[in-house]
Amino acid sequence: MVLGLAVALGLNGCFTERRNEGAQLYASHCANCHGEQGQGLKRLIPPVAASDYVAQHRADLPCLIRKGMRGVVVVNGVEYNQVMPGHDDLTDSQIANLLNFVQQNWGNKNQAYTIHEASELLGHCNGSDGQ
Amino acid sequence: MNIPFLRSVGHLLLCMVVIASAGLTLPGCTQKPTQETHLPYLGEPELVASTAGAAPDTVPYTVPSFTLTNQDRQTITNQTFAGKVYVTDFFFATCPSICPKMQSELLRVYEQFKGNPNVLFLSHTIDPAHDSIPVLRDYAERLGIKDASRWHFATAPHDTIFALARAYMTAAQVDKGVVGGYAHSGTFALIDSHRRIRGLYDGMEKTEVDRLIKELPELLKEEANARATAAK
C-alpha cells in the first residue's frame, strides 16, 4: 500500500500516467473491500463494477468516498447494509482520478470528473481540501 | 510422538543432505520416516514430568479450553471440534481495512472444503460489543454461510477473545491509533483434532492461502492414517 501510494505520487507530474493513478489508488484504497476487479463480496460489499448505483449517483460519489457510507443500499437489485469508512487521506484530485478510473472501467461508462468539478461536489459535504 | 518426530525430521534433513551430496544411501538413513510430509507443531512445547527420574518429556503446544457462542446462539467449545480439523481467524463486522479481503480468502478455503464435514471454520469477532449475535448471523448469511455448524462466527467476552487470539498466535489487540480501533494481523491458524497448531498463514496473501489449501489435505491424510492405526 505504501509502495502503491509512493508509485502513484511519483507519477503525479505526468498526465498520461495520471490515468494510471486512479488504478493505483483503487488498488491501495478500495480493492481490499470491493475486490481487485470491483466485483464486491457476496452480499456484504456491493460491486463497483457495472454498478447501477455508480451510474445513477454521479454527483454524490465524491462525497461518498470522502465521508464513507452506511445503512441500507440497493446495488443492481441486491440489498447491502454495512459500513464503508470515509477517506480523509485522499486529495480532491486523487478522488477525481480514482472515480474516473471506476467510472470508465469494468462495465461502467459514465462521464468523467474534472478536478475542479470534484472539488465543487466535495464542497457539498464540506469535504473539499482544495487540492 | 513429538520428540521422535523432531528427531526424525532432523534425520530426514540430514539424510537428504547426505544423499544429495554423496548420491547414495547410507546405513543410518535406511529407516524410512512413516510420513512423507508432516506439518510442523507450532508453538512453545510443554515440558511434562516423566516417570522415575527420566528426563522430562515434551508435548506440543495445544490451544486452551474455550467456550464461545456462535451465530445460532449455540455454545461451542473444544468439544465442538473433536475429531475435526479447523481453520480459525479473528475479524469484526465493521472492520474498515483488511477483513473483507481476509474473509473472502477464507471463503475461498471454505468453498474448497465445504464438501468435507471433517473440516470446520471458526471466525472470532474481536469487537464483541458491536458484533452481537444478530450481527454475526447477518454477516454470515451475507457471506453465503447458511450452515453454522460448518463455519462458526463466534463471540465471547472481550478478554476471552483476545486471550484466544494470542493462544492461536494470531495477534489481535485494541489499537486506538488505527482506523477501526483494532490492529490485527489477518492470520489463519490450522488446528488438528488434538488442538495442536499445524499451520499459520497470512490471510491477506493469496499465495499463503493457496499454501493452506494445499496443506489442509496433508493434515487430513495424517488424521486418517492415525485413525486407521488406532483402529488396528
As for the ipTM of the complex, it is 0.76
With a CB cutoff of 8 Å and minimum separation 6, the contacts of A27 are A4, A36
The mean pLDDT value for A72-86 works out to 95
Per-residue pLDDT, A97:
95
- pLDDT tens per residue, range B32-55: 444 456 899 998 888 887 777 777
Residues B104 and A35 sit within 8 Å (Cβ to Cβ): yes
Q: Which domain holds residue B156?
A: 3-231
Q: Residues 26-85, chain A: which have Cβ within 8 Å of B?
A: 31-33, 35, 41-45, 80-83, 85
Which of A43, A45, A81 has the CB atom closest to B100's CB atom?
A45
- Chain A residues near residue B103 by CB distance under 8 angstroms: 41, 44
| Integer Cα distance of A24 and B56 in angstroms | 56
* Cβ contact, residue pair B103, A43, below 8 Å: no
A36 neighbors A45 (Cβ within 8 angstroms): no
Domains of chain A: 21-123 (1.10.760.10)
Between chains, do B142 and A44 touch, taking CB under 8 Å as contact? yes
**Which cell numbers hold the place of A86?**
470515509
Domain total in chain B: 1
Helices (H), chain B: 2-22, 99-113, 133-143, 158-167, 206-231
Residue B142 has pLDDT above 60, yes or no: yes
The domain that contains B201 carries what CATH number?
3.40.30.10
CB contacts, 8 Å: A83 with chain B: 94, 96
Contacts of A3 (CB under 8 A, 6+ apart): none
Q: For chains A and B, what is the number of CB pairs under 8 angstroms? A: 37
DSSP A8: H
What does DSSP say about strands A83-84 and A69-70: parallel, antiparallel, or unpaired? Answer: antiparallel
The overall pTM is greater than 0.90: no
pLDDT digits (tens, 9 = 90+) for A99-108: 999 999 999 9
Strand partners for B90: B124
Provide the mean pLDDT of chain A.
87
